[in-house]
Amino acid sequence: MSGQTAVIRRIAIVLAGMALLGAFATSAMSQEDFEEHPHMLVIGLELDEFGEPIGLRRCVDLAANQALPNTAHHENVHFGQARQVLFEKGGHLVVPGAPFPAPFAEPLPWSNCAELIAFFFGD
């Protein structure tokens, strides 16, 4: 992997971590501000001591890889109690896909489970 590729991958991992942990949930941004985006349910996520993903049990493209409606439930799986319980109780995450977090930053480099797995764990 080239130095530039490693830097881009590290930035994307940090961005994904921020997205997954709700760092984008600020009072200045509401869920309506983000472009519609697909979601993946990552089941059994394993993290190393640095908080980087090292494995997962399964990945499921939610809603046939179509955007979920912007409702309170949508916000809750990204930033609220649903996200917290899914992760703390089972190591599961609802992961947003591209074009998230547009228009605030470059889109994530995945939009489905195959792309997410290839990005974090190789082909």
What pLDDT band is residue 3 in, cutting at 50, 70 and 90? Answer: very low
Distances (CA, A) of 26 to 2, 13, 29, 62, 79: 34, 20, 6, 25, 10
pTM for this structure?
A: 0.67
Q: Could you give the 3-state DSSP secondary structure of residue 45?
A: coil
CB atoms within 10 A of CB 37: 19
Pick from 25-34, 67-76, 106-115 the range whose average pLDDT is largest.
106-115
What are the residues whose beta carbons fall under 8 Å from the beta carbon of 66, sequence distance 6 or more?
38
For the chain, domain boundaries: 3-121
pLDDT given for residue 117 in this prediction: 92
Q: What's the CA gap between 23 and 8, in Å, rounded?
A: 19
Backbone dihedral angles phi then psi of residue 71, each to the nearest 5 degrees: -130, 175
For 12-57, how does the pLDDT look when each residue is reduced to its tens digit (9 = 90+)? Answer: 554 455 554 444 444 344 555 778 888 999 999 888 888 888 889 9
